[in-house]
Structure 1
Amino acid sequence: MTSYKDHMLDGASPVDLVVALYDGIIRFLYDAIDAVEHADITARRASVKRALAIVIHLQTRLRMDIGGRPAQVLAEFYASIFALILQASVAADVQRFNRAIVCVREMRNAWRQIALQSAQPPATTAINTSRAFTTPATNIPESDASSRWTA
């Protein structure tokens, strides 16, 4: 017999799946913080490895040929988060892990907002495309996002 968790994402939209992956990154980063606070190097490395595996998965699934500028911004975000998580792990730095969590949570919330908007009936959905792909932390328009993107 399979568990509820095994079927939790059955039938989920692609956006819901991305949100679930962001949730996984956040969960593993909290696990890494807990490991740092308990001086458990093995647990920290395992948690970081799992968080980075999700970031890599998200990065490799980007379709640059179709996604255009938004995909490029996401690629830069994933590269920045990857670097920040690595720095946090090497330094066993809780503040850097927390900074990564804030960035991932903001991006997760942006995806969640997209999911909510796409769930509305087409006649009432109004997406402002000029702001649909801004960096969540600073609301920099997409044209400026890569030059000011920090994680």
Structure 2
Amino acid sequence: MNQSSYRNQTLIGATGVELIVALYDASIRFLYRAITAVEDGDVTARRDAVKRFLDIVMYLQARLRMDLGGDTATTLSDFYSAMFTMSLEASHAASVAQFQEVIACVKNVRDAWVIVARDPAAGRVLPRELRTREERFLPPAEAAPSQTASVASRWSA
């Protein structure tokens, strides 16, 4: 089994938050590819790696729910904008050191997502498109079990 299909298999049972962590992991891999391309003097490979990194950053930023996320969503949006700019500057300068700085920042936020992934209620606040099929049908995180039961009892077949 090659590495790509192994990654696909491990993502099948992943939660929404674990999928976000996987996106961060992929973005870090693309930044390392950019560093390798800088070291090899391969401009095309560097640009391709940076483009793929930027695609992930733009995807994550576009999925932020500013109406629900409050200060956290605003902070993440600012973070993604900064990473976008820093990676373009690193690419333009063909600077390994600047790419390493972007990697350090991304790893820091990725590690925070790993901590969030340990909280089963975290998936309930993700946008629907970032949730797994099972997470889409969970009751709201703030609903107490008694509230969920009383809502269910009002329905009849």
Instruction: Name the structure, 1 or 2, with higher relative contact order (CA <8 Å, separation 6+).
Output: 2
Separation of aligned partners in 2, 1:46 and 1:11: 30
Separation of aligned partners in 2, 1:33 and 1:68: 35
Tell me the secondary structure at the aligned position of residue 113 of structure 2. helix
TM-score, length-scaled by structure 2: 0.72
Residue in structure 2 matching 1:109, options 111, 126, 137: 111
Query: Are residues 95 and 3 of structure 1, via their aligned partners in 2, closer, same or farther at CA, if it must alter by over 3 Å?
Result: closer
Structure 2 residue runs of 5 or longer lacking an equivalent are 122-157
Residue in structure 1 matching 2:49, options 47, 50, 67: 47
**How many residue pairs end up in the alignment?**
119
1:5 Cα deviation after fit: 3.0
1:4 Cα deviation after fit: 3.4
Query: Letter of the aligned partner of 1:72 in structure 2?
Result: T
Larger Rg: 2
More helix by share: 2
TM-score, length-scaled by structure 1: 0.75
Separation of aligned partners in 1, 2:107 and 2:5: 27
Structure 1 residue runs of 5 or longer lacking an equivalent are 121-151
Separation of aligned partners in 2, 1:14 and 1:3: 19
Separation of aligned partners in 1, 2:88 and 2:30: 13
Separation of aligned partners in 2, 1:43 and 1:66: 38
Residue in structure 2 matching 1:58, options 26, 36, 60: 60
- Listed one character per residue, the Cα deviations across residues 34-74 of structure 1 (whole Å, up to 9, x for unaligned) are 00000000000000000000000000000111111100000
User: Do structure 1's residue 95 and structure 2's residue 80 form an aligned pair?
Assistant: no
